[in-house]
A and B are shown apart, each in its own frame.
Chain A
């Protein structure tokens, strides 16, 4: 079973920041937080991942709370093309760790 909890859906206005929350209260010390998104009828796209520290790349920022029990994915300037299902996943950091998908958050970016 997925070890994360996400809201089923969110709306965001185009051009505004989209903040997607994720709860992972049972995360262990060697588990990473990964974010992927899936646009309809396509394979998931990797966005970002982190362990303890906040992370930023060209797509998004990942903010992880100090106790690591929750995180927030931030899309700084959402566009219509960011409409997708966003998955927050915790994965064991070893080489055998699998990605187990939960239900994700359906983000709808509106004009």
Chain B
């Protein structure tokens, strides 16, 4: 299957600082990218959907000013957690898909964020 690379795999940051997570599609052009968050022992929760060159669409309850998403190219999307707090500690996962009716989405390996 296609490869989606996420970086970093884990990060520890101080409360109040910002953290940027990168998601790259290595061997295909991702017209749509998705960002998920997963708390321990829970399922993945969709945070936002972004299409290349346009603003992200956030799911209800997700603060767009706190979770900044940029999808400036067909191979790169970034998620910036601004002014991080301990409750933002979670497993963040991106996925990417190319245009098409029934194309599958491929997932990155995830980023473990710990805010101390």
Contact in complex: B102, A93 (CB < 8 Å):
yes
Partner among B1, B93, B109 whose Cβ is within 8 Å of the Cβ of A46: B1
Complex: A96 Cα to B101 Cα, angstroms: 9
Decide yes or no whether A100 CB sits under 8 A from chain B. Answer: yes
- Chain B proximity mask over A41-62: 1 for CB below 8 Å, otherwise 0: 1111110010100000000000
B interface residues, tally (CB under 8 Å): 27
- Chain A proximity mask over B95-110: 1 for CB below 8 Å, otherwise 0: 1000111101111111
A interface residues, tally (CB under 8 Å): 24
Contact in complex: A43, B93 (CB < 8 Å):
yes
Q: Would A46 and B105 be within 8 Å (CB), given that A95-B31, A100-B46 are in contact?
A: yes
The winner among B6, B46, B112 for most chain A CB atoms within 10 A is B46
Within 8 A of B (CB), among A42-88: 42-46, 49, 51, 87
Which chain B positions have C-beta within 8 A of A87?
A: 43
Decide yes or no whether A103 CB sits under 8 A from chain B. Answer: yes
B89 to chain A, nearest CB (A): 14
Contact in complex: B109, A95 (CB < 8 Å):
no
Which chain A positions have C-beta within 8 A of B95?
A: 43-44, 99
Decide yes or no whether B25 CB sits under 8 A from chain A. Answer: no
Which chain B positions have C-beta within 8 A of A102?
A: 43
Decide yes or no whether B34 CB sits under 8 A from chain A. Answer: yes
The winner among B31, B36, B105 for most chain A CB atoms within 10 A is B105
Contact in complex: A101, B34 (CB < 8 Å):
no
Partner among B1, B4, B99, B104 whose Cβ is within 8 Å of the Cβ of A95: B99
Chain B interface (Cβ < 8 Å from any Cβ of A): 1, 4, 6, 31-32, 34, 36, 43-46, 49, 91, 93, 95, 99-102, 104-110, 112
